[in-house]
Amino acid sequence: MSREVVFGIGGYDPSKPNDNIVEIIDTPDEVDSQSEE
Amino acid sequence: MATNFPTSLDALSNPTSTDGLNNPSHSGQHADANDAIEALEAKVGVDSSAVSTSLDFLVTQANASGSSGLASGTYYTTSSNTNTTSTATTTTGVVSYLPFLVERTTTFDRIACRTGGTVTGTSTVRLGIYNNSNKKPTTVLLDAGTVAATATSTIYSITINQTLNPGWYWLAHVVNSTTGTHTFFQNADALPFGQMPLTATFAFQPNYSQTGVTGAFATASPTTTGNSRVLVALRVA
């Protein structure tokens, strides 16, 4: 599972709802050549 | 004479001050000039021309996002000579600049980085785009703001609306501050420019970074040492 946390224009802003996080996207992992230490 | 343009260039006769109006023909001179102007207009094309041989049509096609070779909704970063990513701990306050080539005018709607397997506390990570001059980052094109990174193996992105014309840019990443530790995906094997600057002793200068950046981005004054490149990506609108 891969997660993307999307902030609205301007990025992190504690004065906006949810700190300006506008979307959280969870997608299944893809089979690729990426490696992670 | 009828115009030969655009098949070939016309060789129009210029009358002299002593020529009569009938030699060369005055009306013929205007007709030739008018024909040439009309041929030029046809070659340039009207606004939003549908004539496939007109310059307006060809320029529009070349600049259209659909012909950029990049797919809408997909993230792109600089190509790598290994096609693999790694993760590494980045130093707080050190900007990583990743060279990024735009081949066709393209609008991007997100800028993003990805955390690695170690994240504790909260890291305030700033992302942005720098202009390029002499193969170095120069002025700030976009300071997209920050993300608050708190989780491992997570893409953190900021919504942007940035159109980039063809040319080289630098994707910037810096941890402004942190309450813990953080690793990020690296693009250490990115293939930067076609030509790479060398030092006086012919050592490669593949990396640019800048220390002491704990707030907004400002005009770059990079050094050629420091962090390897953090992987920053742009999503095509």
Condensed to tens digits (0 to 9), the pLDDT of residues B126-179 reads: 999 999 998 889 999 999 999 999 999 999 999 999 999 889 999 999 999 999
- Which one of A1, A3, A7 makes the best mutation probe of the B interface by having the most chain B beta carbons within 10 Å? A7
B108 touches A at CB < 8 Å: no
Average pLDDT over residues B213-222: 90
> How confident is the model at residue B30, as a pLDDT?
92
- For B187, nearest residue in chain A (alpha carbons): A34
> How confident is the model at residue B8, as a pLDDT?
92
Average pLDDT over residues B172-197: 83
Nearest in space to B198 (alpha carbons), one of B234, B174, B224, B226: B224
From B15-29, B30-44, B159-173, the region with the lowest mean pLDDT: B15-29
C-alpha B28/C-alpha B14 separation (Å) is 12
> How confident is the model at residue A37, as a pLDDT?
45
pLDDT confidence tier of residue A31, bands split at 50, 70 and 90: low
Q: In whole numbers, what is the pLDDT of chain B averaged over residues?
A: 88
φ and ψ at residue B41, rounded to 5 degrees: -60, -40
Is the pLDDT at B16 greater than 60? The verdict is yes
What one-character-per-residue DSSP string does A15-26 give?
TSGGGGEEEEEE
Positive/negative CA dihedral, B160, B214, B151, A19: negative
Instruction: Give the global pTM.
Output: 0.75
Is the pLDDT at B194 greater than 70? The verdict is no
- A13 vs B contacts (CB less than 8 Å): 145
CA-only gyration radius of chain B, Å: 26
Is the pLDDT at A15 greater than 50? The verdict is yes
A2 touches B at CB < 8 Å: yes
CB contact (8 A) between residue A36 and residue B116: yes
pLDDT confidence tier of residue B58, bands split at 50, 70 and 90: confident
CB contact (8 A) between residue A36 and residue B87: yes
Say which residue the tokens 């942005």 belong to.
Answer: B128
Nearest in space to B172 (alpha carbons), one of B104, B219, B116: B219
- A34 vs B contacts (CB less than 8 Å): 84-85
> How confident is the model at residue B229, as a pLDDT?
83
Is the pLDDT at B62 greater than 80? The verdict is no
Condensed to tens digits (0 to 9), the pLDDT of residues B64-122 reads: 655 567 889 999 998 877 777 788 888 899 999 998 989 888 899 999 999 999 999 99
- A3 vs B contacts (CB less than 8 Å): 151, 153-155
